[in-house]
Amino acid sequence: MKLKPFVLPEKIEIETETVSDTYTKFIIEPLEKGWGHTIGNSLRRGLLSSIQGAAITQVRIDGVLHEFSTIPDVLEDIPQIIMNMKKIHMALLSETPKLCNFNVKGKGAFTAKDMTVPPEVNISNPNQHILTVTDSKRSVNIEMRVENGRGYVPSERLKRGQNAPVGTIFLDAFFSPVKKVNYTVENTRVLDRSDFEKILLEVWTDGSVKPDEALIQSATIIKNHMTIMIPTQKEPEFIPEEKFDKDRERLRELLQMDIEELELSNRALNCLKKGRSKRTGERVSIKKVADLVRRTEKEMLNIENFGRKSLDELKKVLEGIGLSFGLDVDSIIKKE
User: 176-218, pLDDT tens digit by residue?
Assistant: 999 999 999 999 877 656 788 999 999 999 999 999 999 999 9
Tell whether the model's pLDDT for residue 51 goes beyond 50: yes
In this predicted model, what pLDDT tens digit does every residue of 139-158 receive, in sequence order?
A: 999 999 999 999 999 999 98
In which domain, by residue range, is 304 found?
A: 246-333
Q: Are residues 85 and 129 in the same domain?
A: yes
Q: Are residues 86 and 150 in the same domain?
A: yes
Beta-bridge partners for 166 = none
Q: Is 4 contained in some domain?
A: no
Q: CATH number for the domain including 192?
A: 3.30.1360.10
State residue 242's pLDDT score: 55
Distance between CA 140 and CA 107 in Å, rounded?
11
Q: What angle, rounded to 10 degrees, do the helices at 308-320 and 266-274 form?
A: 100
Q: Are residues 18 and 165 in the same domain?
A: no
**pLDDT class for 248, splitting at 50, 70, 90?**
low
Q: Are residues 120 and 155 in the same domain?
A: yes
Distance between CA 253 and CA 214 in Å, rounded?
38
Q: Are residues 190 and 271 in the same domain?
A: no
Q: Is 239 contained in some domain?
A: no
Q: Is 132 contained in some domain?
A: yes
Q: Is 1 contained in some domain?
A: no
8 A C-beta contact, residue 51 and residue 210: no
In whole numbers, what is the pLDDT of the chain averaged over residues? Answer: 88
State residue 97's pLDDT score: 94
State residue 26's pLDDT score: 97
State residue 235's pLDDT score: 79
State residue 197's pLDDT score: 92
State residue 220's pLDDT score: 96
The arithmetic mean of pLDDT across residues 50-65, rounded, is: 94
| Alpha-carbon separation of residue 74 from 23, 95, 132 (angstroms) | 36, 35, 6
From 174, 204, 225, give the residue that closes a domain.
174
In this predicted model, what pLDDT tens digit does every residue of 17-48 receive, in sequence order?
A: 999 999 999 999 989 999 999 999 999 999 99
Q: Are residues 167 and 108 in the same domain?
A: yes
CA torsion sign, 230 to 231 to 234 to 237? positive
Percentage above 70 pLDDT, the chain? 94
From 129, 148, 174, give the residue that closes a domain.
174
The residue among 60, 142, 132 whose CA lies nearest residue 103 is: 142
Tell whether the model's pLDDT for residue 117 goes beyond 80: yes
Tell whether the model's pLDDT for residue 249 goes beyond 80: no
Neighbours of 196 (CB within 10 A): 19
Tell whether the model's pLDDT for residue 243 goes beyond 70: no
State residue 28's pLDDT score: 95
Distance between CA 126 and CA 89 in Å, rounded?
8
The arithmetic mean of pLDDT across residues 125-136, rounded, is: 95
State residue 335's pLDDT score: 54
Q: Are residues 87 and 200 in the same domain?
A: no
Q: Are residues 324 and 253 in the same domain?
A: yes
**pLDDT class for 238, splitting at 50, 70, 90?**
confident
State residue 336's pLDDT score: 44
Q: CATH number for the domain including 279?
A: 1.10.150.20
Q: Are residues 89 and 169 in the same domain?
A: yes
Q: Is 5 contained in some domain?
A: no
Tell whether the model's pLDDT for residue 52 goes beyond 60: yes
Q: Are residues 161 and 299 in the same domain?
A: no
In this predicted model, what pLDDT tens digit does every residue of 273-321 receive, in sequence order?
A: 777 888 888 887 788 888 888 888 888 888 888 888 888 888 888 888 8
In this predicted model, what pLDDT tens digit does every residue of 250-280 receive, in sequence order?
A: 777 888 888 888 878 888 888 887 778 888 8
Q: Using the CB atoms, write b or e for 99-114: b if 16+ within 10 Å.
A: ebebebeeeeebbbee
Q: Are residues 108 and 196 in the same domain?
A: no
Distance between CA 14 and CA 10 in Å, rounded?
14
Q: How many domains does the chain have?
A: 3
Determine the residue type at 33.
K
State residue 134's pLDDT score: 94
Q: Are residues 79 and 63 in the same domain?
A: yes
